[in-house]
Chain A
Amino acid sequence: MKTYEDFLREYAQQNDSLVVMTAENRAAIRNLPPHLGNRFIDVGICEQTMVGMAAGLALRGRKPVIHALATFLTLRAFEFIRTDIGIPGLPVTLVGGVPGFLSDGNGPTHQAIEDISILRGIPNMQVFCPADAVELAAGIPSIIDSGKPCYIRYYGGPAVVDHQPFEYGKAEWLATGTDVALLSYGFLIREVMSARKKLEAAGYSVSVINMRMLSPVDEETILRAGRSHQLVVTIEDHFLKGGLYSIVSEVYMKYLYDHNWGSSETLMMRETNMPYFTYHEDYRLAKVYPIALENRWFKPALLDRVLDHEGFTGEKLAHRIQTELKQKSILPSKN
């Protein structure tokens, strides 16, 4: 299997435009220095300067791929990203290491759990959240060739699913059901697949959608999930505000507005006791249940313990979703 490093090495051999940079974080690129020569630049612990230099290199026709821990890259250097990369829309790929729960025992200083929120807020910024090493390697070519800035929420762990071919800006259906749609991204896909198994065993028909990219986001798939299930669940190691739950909410609100839901026409039908659902039903969307970090950082510990403590193991996710289905009387017929 071709890895992320293999891709960068081969691409660099064929294109002198590729430059790999790091702010002393080599986990993802440790084998590249001997192959890249002076096109491998380690600036030391200087995230802002790395981003500014990447802009300068991009102005000269280079395609820098720059690495740092996700939290320091996206937060400390945020204004450099927004101002020097975002405003001119330069083709710089920002690779953030140990995002979300992957910072396990480091504590809140290292918890990049607002990265998607702030990065997707930059016009033209793409956001790619690979589920594993296979997806990372499959997605990186189209990211590099897009000629636009991109944030990669890096994860290079082993794959637990067989992926469909990577399609830029498209989500992937890993399982197709009719009751509940689980939407997620990144390494949590592993836990979500396990949650699906448990929910299916309990009698629910469950879809799993791997979002892959959160900007541009696959609105069509998000809408399809809402129209063909009773409940949509967003699962993410990110703050509730600004991540996938917010994205789904934005997509659904726009859809409902575009289809006149909640207009005076609808209200009139309610007031006159006309069955407004006949109007509504045409554009019905599932309820959306968010599983994310609500206004708090997570408890630092080894990853498996974090997942358990925060309720993100497959088992705990399944339990939380089942509880929600019962409490809100969604699909009361099951169980």
Chain B
Amino acid sequence: MTPDKLHELESLALKVREHIIRLSTNGGCFIGASLSCADLIVYLYKEVLSVQPDQVNDPDRDYLLLSKGHDVPALYGTLAELGFFEKERLANHLHTTDSIYWHPNRAVPGIEFHSGSLGHLLSVGAGIAMDMKMRGKKNRVFVILGDGELNEGSIWEACLVAANLKLDNLVAIVDRNEFQANVRTEDLMPLEPLPTKFEAFGWQTARVNGHDFQALETGFNFLPRNTGKPSVLIANTVRGKGLPSIEKRADRWFVNFSQEEVENLLKELHGQAQTQLTSETLMVR
């Protein structure tokens, strides 16, 4: 990857994180999960997905589905920055005049399907991928799964079916931030060895640092095509990535910060002093 490309990706990711932080007030958002997969979503839109803002209904586009849903602020920020809709619309967050809320939905240009209930979109993605296969198309479907979401049985049901149907145009990406809602995955419901589990279900796996664009490039290039097997990229991430004051904190899952905290977090994002957070935290089990 050229230094220019890397700089471009990092600059966009920084802008997306600014949007996420701005969405974390006046009602708030699921900031931790959004920050953990911001780099993934930026990389997908810039380097992987074949989809253009003026062709969101092109049947030959690639699809991205957010199955865990809480990470939608990262998608809103990316879509707004890339011109899928006006950035000003982000100010409508949680207002009835628009459809920008805590989970994705199709009323927002560029968003393919709604989610919010965990464990659904790997099946929906398999249906989309199946249609592409039946039509002999080369486009692909990418589904971002939360690691906590892997608790859902329907994920493993869909894994069996997708492997059996040889959907090698289906790519799951696990945002492996090691947190469920507010407990560490390995404390509540251990998932490792995760690649082995997917491999046993007939999937190809790769594991990368989900915040390192060079590594993501390697990871996505590694995923071979036309092998008859669906793929999963396990992206090791950090919940709250980019804001040391909330990184890896179990109690900063959903947040509703004050305006002052938001201003300080924006500075923190750009390397200035860590923020003194005083707003209410979630109860941690």
A-side residues, CB < 8 A to B, are 19, 38-39, 41, 43-44, 46, 48-62, 64, 79-80, 83-84, 87-88
Chain B residues with CB under 8 Å of A60's CB are 59, 127-128, 131-132
Q: Which of B125, B154, B165 gathers most chain A CB within 10 Å?
A: B154
User: In the assembly, what is the distance between CA of A269 and CA of B196, in Å?
Assistant: 78
Q: Assuming A79-B117, A87-B114, A88-B114, is B161 touching A55 (CB within 8 A)?
A: no
Interface pair A49/B126, CB less than 8 Å apart: yes
Chain A residues with CB under 8 Å of B130's CB are 41, 53, 56-57
B134, CB-defined interface residue at 8 Å:
yes
Chain A residues with CB under 8 Å of B125's CB are 56
Chain B facing A: main interface SS: helix
> Which chain B residue has the least Cβ–Cβ distance from A56?
B127
Chain A residues with CB under 8 Å of B161's CB are 43-44, 46, 49, 53
B121, CB-defined interface residue at 8 Å:
yes
Chain B residues with CB under 8 Å of A59's CB are 112-113, 124, 127-128
Q: How far is the CB of B155 from chain A (nearest CB, A)?
A: 10
B160, CB-defined interface residue at 8 Å:
yes
Interface pair B165/A80, CB less than 8 Å apart: no
User: In the assembly, what is the distance between CA of A19 and CA of B130, in Å?
Assistant: 11
B143-189 residues with Cβ-Cβ distance < 8 A to A are 154, 157-158, 160-161, 164-165
Interface pair A51/B123, CB less than 8 Å apart: yes
Chain A facing B: main interface SS: helix
Q: How large is the interface on B (under 10, 10 to 19, 20 to 34, 35 or more residues)?
A: 20 to 34
Chain A residues with CB under 8 Å of B124's CB are 52-53, 55-56, 59, 84
Chain A residues with CB under 8 Å of B122's CB are 52
Interface pair B131/A57, CB less than 8 Å apart: yes
Question: Which 9 residue pairs spanning A and B have beta carbons closest together?
Answer: A56-B127, A52-B123, A53-B127, A60-B131, A56-B128, A56-B124, A57-B127, A49-B123, A46-B157
User: In the assembly, what is the distance between CA of A83 and CA of B59, in Å?
Assistant: 23
Chain B residues with CB under 8 Å of A84's CB are 120, 123-124
Q: How far is the CB of B123 from chain A (nearest CB, A)?
A: 2
Chain A residues with CB under 8 Å of B113's CB are 55, 59, 88
> Which chain A residue has the least Cβ–Cβ distance from B126?
A53
User: In the assembly, what is the distance between CA of A87 and CA of B158, in Å?
Assistant: 21
B129, CB-defined interface residue at 8 Å:
yes
22 contacts between A and B (CB under 8 A): A38-B133, A41-B130, A43-B161, A49-B126, A50-B123, A51-B123, A52-B121, A53-B127, A53-B130, A55-B113, A56-B126, A56-B129, A57-B131, A59-B113, A60-B59, A60-B127, A60-B132, A64-B127, A79-B117, A80-B123, A80-B154, A83-B114
User: In the assembly, what is the distance between CA of A59 and CA of B114, in Å?
Assistant: 12
Interface pair A55/B154, CB less than 8 Å apart: no
Q: Which of A38, A51, A57, A61 gathers most chain B CB within 10 Å?
A: A57
